[in-house]
Structure 1
Amino acid sequence: MDLTFANGTVNAAVTGEGTPFFLFHSLLSDRASFDAIAPELSRSHRVIVPELPGFGGSKAASGGLADVADRMAEAVKDAAGGGPAIVLGNGYGGFVALQMAIRHPQVASKLILADCGAAFSEDGRQAFRNMAAGAKAKGLAAITDVAMRRLFAADFQAAHPDLMQDRREAFLKTDPDVLQAACAQLAALDLRPELSTVKMPVLVLVGEHDEATPPPMSHELAALLPNARLKILAGCAHVPQLQAPRAFLDAIADFL
């Protein structure tokens, strides 16, 4: 069922019972990117899959990534009732979760950061600037192929046409202004100086073939966090929970 949190500003799907487990989606996808893993996780957890601010039924945050993180911290505290919570973020959702943990150290007891990092290379920053410029000049349809290449390797796309059609349709529902603002925020982001403050256990995951947030970003992230471990997901790209759900669930099982 869908519930709202943070004074009605964050819409989320909620299933199961147990320790609250939040799943934050990527920028180029939506909460349905967790559909393949949420049912199993809900057997042992209360799984809460929000639409991040500005996506779906959630209201946009007025400022930058810090404001998005503050909004999500409020939602996590609200939904978890002030108790311990696990937060998993994929891509953009991982950056939001990490910023949230920096700004609100008590909000989560464990973090899983899948295919993100603390800062992009200059090439990575430019890719976000180019995507934002393309979306502004020509609309989302003009950058859909680029967006899908950032999510999935070409051979995976060719082998899963129905899934790719679904992912394309989901991407085209994104608010262009929200996308452009997020691209600008990610292009400027550098959380490395603050990583030493994140004391909770962190599992850093990355797809072996992720081109959007390449594995070196996860290696750096895990090395700079005080209490982190790193796992590489063989054969996967930027959205491993969709590409290889069983392998993804197995990778997080011991950590949970």
Structure 2
Amino acid sequence: MDRLFAGGTVNAAQTGNGAPLFLLHSLLSDRASFDAVAPKLSQSFRVIVPELPGFGRSLAVNGGLADIADRMAEAVKDGSLGGGAIVLGNGYGGFVALQMAIRHPAIATRLILADSGAAFSDPGRQAFRNMATAASANGLAAITDVAMRRLFAPEFQAAHPELMRDRREAFLKTDPEVFRAACAQLAELDLRDELAKVKMPVLVMVGEHDEATPPPMSHELAALLPDARLKIIPGCAHVPQLQSPDLFLEAISDFLQATSTMPA
């Protein structure tokens, strides 16, 4: 069931009952990237999967990542109904979640940052600039292969043609201007000096073979956060919840048990 939050600006799917668990999708994907794990999670939580601002039916935000984080903080407050929320962000959704936790310290009781970080390396920054330039000049179709490589290893792509066809179609539905702006923001992002403001427990996790946000970014993030643990998901790349749903659920289950017991 879809619902609107943040004054009708954020569209989200909601299933299940219990403590609110928000799942924020990546830049190169959409909220359907959580379809394989949301049913299991909704047995123990009220799972809310928004479309980030500018995606799907959620209205875009005029401004940078901080403004997007503020909009999503409104959505989390609305969806939490006064209860403590858990926020899980994957990729771009992780950067939004981290910025939200910095700017709104009481927004969540726990945070899960999957394949994210606090700042990119110089080559990582340049990769975003290159994607933005190519997308502006030639459209998203010109960088679809690059985008898919950042999500999945070539071997996985070859073994899952139907999934890859679906993911390509989802990526091509992205608003090109929203994509370009997000790339520009990520190319300049550096949240390292602000991580001490994040007081809630954080699970930092990353796919072993993630090329988009490589494991060293997660190692750095976990080391700089006041209360964080790190998990590496073997055999996975940037979207482990799509590549290996069972491994993804196993990786987060212990961390979630402080709020609710995951079903067997």
Confirm or deny a common fold (TM above 0.5): yes
Aligned residue number for residue 145 of structure 1: 145
Aligned residue type for 1:26: S
Q: Provide the C-alpha distance between the structure 1 equivalents of 2:185 and 2:82, rounded to a whole number of angstroms.
A: 29
Q: Provide the C-alpha distance between the structure 2 equivalents of 1:47 and 1:61, rounded to a whole number of angstroms.
A: 24
Identify unmatched segments of 5+ residues in structure 1.
Answer: none
Deviations 1:83-138 (A, max 9, x none): 20000000000000000000000000000000000000000000000000000000
Aligned residue number for residue 99 of structure 1: 99
SS in 2 for 1:119: coil
Aligned residue number for residue 37 of structure 1: 37
Work out whether 1:218 is the aligned partner of 2:218. Answer: yes
TM-fit CA distance, 1:77: 0.1
TM-fit CA distance, 1:82: 2.4
* Aligned residue pair count: 256
1:223-242 matches, within 5 Å, as 223-242=223-242
SS in 1 for 2:181: helix
Identify unmatched segments of 5+ residues in structure 2.
Answer: 257-264
TM-fit CA distance, 1:143: 0.4
Aligned residue type for 2:152: F
Work out whether 1:180 is the aligned partner of 2:144. Answer: no
SS in 2 for 1:27: coil
TM-fit CA distance, 1:48: 0.1
Q: Provide the C-alpha distance between the structure 2 equivalents of 1:52 and 1:195, rounded to a whole number of angstroms.
A: 22
Q: Share of identical aligned residues, percent?
A: 80
Work out whether 1:255 is the aligned partner of 2:255. Answer: yes
Tell me how large the CA RMSD over aligned residues is.
0.3
Give me the TM-score of the superposition, normalised by structure 1: 1.00
Aligned residue type for 1:214: P
Q: Provide the C-alpha distance between the structure 1 equivalents of 2:58 and 2:82, rounded to a whole number of angstroms.
A: 21
SS in 2 for 1:254: helix
1:118-133 matches, within 5 Å, as 118-133=118-133
Q: Provide the C-alpha distance between the structure 2 equivalents of 1:184 and 1:193, rounded to a whole number of angstroms.
A: 20
SS in 1 for 2:53: coil
